[in-house]
Amino acid sequence: MSIEAQKMGYKAEQRVLDIASKNGLNARAGTLAEDHASKVDVFIEGQPFQVSCGKKSKGERKRLENRGINSIAAGESVPEESVLTAILSFLKQ
């Protein structure tokens, strides 16, 4: 992965954390071990999320779902309202 891609991914993760916190949700970044071992970038209200800049493929979303991980797209092109709606829909499940 290029450094530019890593920077974009980190910005998307920070964006999710900021949106969740701003809306009164308990959010924290995953540890390096959690990220490498389970592909978990952030936890919101205790639920694991993998954050990406764009929407994952259907197959990849299904693989993450089977492991109990929510996939969320939060790149700069994704409206804040859409990110929050996605977060809340996963939390209601």
pLDDT in tens, the chain (93 residues): 688 988 999 999 999 999 999 999 999 999 988 877 788 999 999 999 999 999 999 999 999 999 999 999 999 999 999 999 999 999 987
User: What CA–CA distance (Å, rounded) separates 16 from 73?
Assistant: 9
pTM, to two decimals: 0.91
- Domain range for 36 is 3-92
Total number of domains in the chain: 1
Residues 6+ apart with CB under 8 A from 75: 8, 12, 52, 53, 54
User: What CA–CA distance (Å, rounded) separates 73 from 13?
Assistant: 9
User: What CA–CA distance (Å, rounded) separates 38 from 24?
Assistant: 26
User: What CA–CA distance (Å, rounded) separates 23 from 21?
Assistant: 5
